[in-house]
């Protein structure tokens, strides 16, 4: 599973100058089979109607699952790429932060499947995503 010595700060450092930092996504917690990241709900992630853009929620979800897969494979011989993501937006957020908790639900040799729940600061469900990662040889 996810290495015990992997820290959120490491993920935040390697994410510099990417979409992750453009959306102000910050990794906050890592466990044996989960990763949590937060993203602000503000002018960087709003849609024109003044609420969290669904695409920003999906980007947050894919960021969490992709990073998870990257760190549970041998990255010297393999790499992970997202091949499918499905998201249901079930709530709205207008301010504060949303938190994505990604848990691996299938750990195969060639595919990983992640379930990612995006919730607001009060624990209200905003989006539910399922991400399929393909594991490829370098």
Catalytic residues: 62
Nearest to 113 by CA among 89, 130, 88: 130
- Round to whole Å and give the CA distance between 93 and 125: 10
Structure tokens, 68: 């998870």
Taking the C-alpha atoms of residue 103 and residue 33, their distance in angstroms, rounded to an integer, is 6
């Amino acid at each position: 599973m996810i290495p015990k010595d992997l820290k959120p700060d490491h993920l935040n450092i390697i994410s510099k100058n990417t979409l992750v930092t453009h959306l102000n996504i910050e990794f906050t917690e890592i466990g044996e089979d989960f990763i949590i990241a937060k993203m602000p709900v503000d002018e960087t992630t709003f849609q024109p109607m003044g609420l969290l853009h669904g695409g920003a929620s999906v980007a947050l979800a894919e960021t969490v699952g992709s990073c998870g897969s990257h760190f549970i494979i041998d990255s010297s011989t393999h790499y992970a790429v997202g091949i499918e993501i499905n998201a249901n937006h079930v709530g709205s957020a207008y301010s504060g932060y949303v938190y994505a908790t990604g848990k691996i639900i299938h750990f195969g040799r060639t595919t990983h499947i992640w379930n990612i729940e995006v919730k607001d600061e009060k624990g209200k469900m905003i989006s539910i995503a399922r991400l399929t990662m393909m594991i490829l040889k370098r």
